[in-house]
Structure 1
Amino acid sequence: MEAGLRSLELTVRRRLDGLLQGNHVGLLPGPGSEPGEARPYQPGDDVRRMDWSVTARTTAPHVRETVADRELETWVAVDVSRSLDFGTADTDKRHLALAGLTAVTQLTVGGGNRIGAVATNGAETLRLPARGGLVHARGLVRRVATMPSAPEGVRGDLAAALDQLRRPPRRRGLVAVVSDFLGEPEWERSLRALSGRHDLLAIEVVDPRELELPDIGTVVLADPETGRQREVETTPLLRREFAAAASAHRDRVAAALRRCGAAQLTLRTDSDWVADIVRFVVARKHAWSGGGAGRGRPA
């Protein structure tokens, strides 16, 4: 477990490190404490902010502006329900969810930033307080990775995990949601309630067999959360109907996330998920750089 998590962290860090530096605005009220630009002194300015070096060079009194502290608080809601114990390609969805969590921790840790998590399997909820530092970030990923699956018959409850991020109210920051988003979007109301105070990122993990069935004759399909099974014949008609239903479901999820104002990153078990994350981050950084003044959007 330790070797696997360390390898995962190194893989993410090698490709993503440094992509998001400085991409969020100050989150603390008031003038802050970081040094900014120097400007000529004006009557009423605090003399304690006099910049004597600039004053000496220009022979005119100058004060040094300050900017808000750039501290970001990130919370990650992680769905670790039984439906993630599935994968038919290069990896399974649970590993992919951990990869998404690791990427978020690597992109936000450092600089006084803090990260916390709420993980749920439907039967129990793991709450990890927001703290700073790489040691805490590694421990957070480890605790989520070792969280057991729920007993058979227990469905995940993403909405309950999101509600825990609303109470008590938390300082403005970034909320990332890692899930396969199967089932109806009953979590939409909870996620939308968070959008008024936080920037939102949804990381969807997908396996190709959830999108279309192969032509393999008779197959037994099982619901990993309820344990129900059904034997079906993968006829052309069934495969078309299955693909259409899967596409319609993903459209509903995407529409719900858009209504909540969440950026969506999709990771597939049959693709280069690191490259997908890099493309997403670079695109978000480019969009942020071209944005106007006002509240920044963490990539």
Structure 2
Amino acid sequence: MARAAAVTGPGSGRAEAVLSRLYLTVTRKLDGLLQGDYVGLLPGPGSEAGESTEYRPGDDVRRMDWPVTARTTVPHVRRSVADRELETWIAVDLSASLDFGTARCLKRDLAISAAAAMIHLTARGGNRVGAVIGTGDPVSGGAITRLPARTGRKEAHGLLRAIALTESRPGRSDLGALIDRLNRPPRRRGVAVVISDFMAPPAQWGRPLRKLAVRHDVLAVEVVDPRELELPDVGVLTVADPETGALHEVQTSDLRLRRRYAEAAAAGRAAIAHTVRGAGAAQLRLRTDSDWLLDMVRFVAGQRHARTRGVARPAPAPRPESEAR
């Protein structure tokens, strides 16, 4: 089972070793489990003409190959070869709420690990990858940092290092503004990935996500800890808000409280999924208590299978929490 590497702060001498080990793990496992040529998590159609295949329900009728259709009397569509010059931009939300985890790692570590996997999948084909990073409330010293898109393995490793060593700031970053930065300046069609716990209200980031999906293939990577979905029965529990530092005592022995908490959490996650799907984006949920690399491999393999068959399908819905555990 792949465990997200715990990346320490900017002043730690272990940071470089941890990052190198993380990148090596991602490289070995993804290259071993994903056979074939991948230009990213959501490879888009390119401009080079490929072979013709028989039409299937859901294929784009604008790609009908009329000469082959006339010769065979069977509808055919012309496939296209994936663009080798794919450009991927990653928005990484490093709000203080990601400095939380009760399972194998912090949500922050899982977010960085997911970024490492996506950087590897994009950069290994000679494509360009860049990032924007949100680090808390601007009033409390947070900011949005832009790292330009570049090609090359050395540049990709430097990009991951810059993301991992970015220090979180108090408060919550504006997820809507972070996503909107992927639209400025306007870029040619590519892939946009948003990594966050999506704890901000969907009304804040739903419209920027829809706007982003008009031009790009968008993937929303949702990072979740099991304690955000249900409370354990451990008596009186003191919890701290990582964004404000406020402390609260919760009586977890109260069955009705735990039930209301689980129902509210399920409703919140359903609202996130509804907003992401409504924007036309794909969704990948990664949990701190599961094998995140295996979940990512399943997602990429599913995307490739759907595109190979030429059937437009939505991304698979997140598994029920009982099955995920």
Shorter-chain-normalised TM-score: which range?
A: 0.7 to 0.9
CA distance change for structure 1 residues 224 and 20 in 2, over 3 Å: closer, same or farther? farther
Distance 2:44 2:249 in 1: 54
One of 248, 253, 269 as aligned partner of 2:288:
269
Report the equivalent of 2:27: 13
Deviation sequence 1:93-148 (CA, Å, 0-9, x none): 01100111011111111333100000011211111001111111111110011111
Distance 1:73 1:115 in 2: 6
User: Normalising by structure 1, what TM-score?
Assistant: 0.81
Deviation sequence 1:66-118 (CA, Å, 0-9, x none): 97852100000000000010111111101100111011111111333100000
Within a 5 Å distance, the mapping from 1:103-122 to structure 2 comes to 103-122=117-136
* 1:27 and 1:71 in contact (8 A); partners too: no
User: Which of 1 and 2 has greater Rg?
Assistant: 1
Amino acid in the other structure paired with 2:182: L
Distance 1:173 1:155 in 2: 28
Distance 2:128 2:229 in 1: 36
Report the equivalent of 1:128: 147
Percent sequence identity is 54
Q: 1:91 and 2:105 equivalent?
A: yes
One of 179, 188, 192 as aligned partner of 1:171:
188
Within a 5 Å distance, the mapping from 1:16-165 to structure 2 comes to 16-17=30-31, 19=35, 21=37, 24-25=43-44, 27=46, 69-122=83-136, 123-151=142-170, 154-165=171-182
Distance 2:81 2:101 in 1: 47
* 1:115 and 1:137 in contact (8 A); partners too: yes
Q: CA deviation at 1:292?
A: 5.5
Amino acid in the other structure paired with 1:162: I
What stretches of structure 1 of length at least 5 have no aligned partner? 38-65
Report the equivalent of 1:62: none
* 1:206 and 1:267 in contact (8 A); partners too: yes
What stretches of structure 2 of length at least 5 have no aligned partner? 1-14, 52-79, 137-141, 316-325
* 1:207 and 1:269 in contact (8 A); partners too: yes
Tell me, what secondary structure is at the counterpart of 2:219? strand
Deviation sequence 1:240-274 (CA, Å, 0-9, x none): 00000000000000000001111111111111111
Across the two proteins, how many residue pairs are aligned to each other?
A: 259
* 1:201 and 1:263 in contact (8 A); partners too: yes
Tell me, what secondary structure is at the counterpart of 1:165? helix
Tell me, what secondary structure is at the counterpart of 1:203? strand
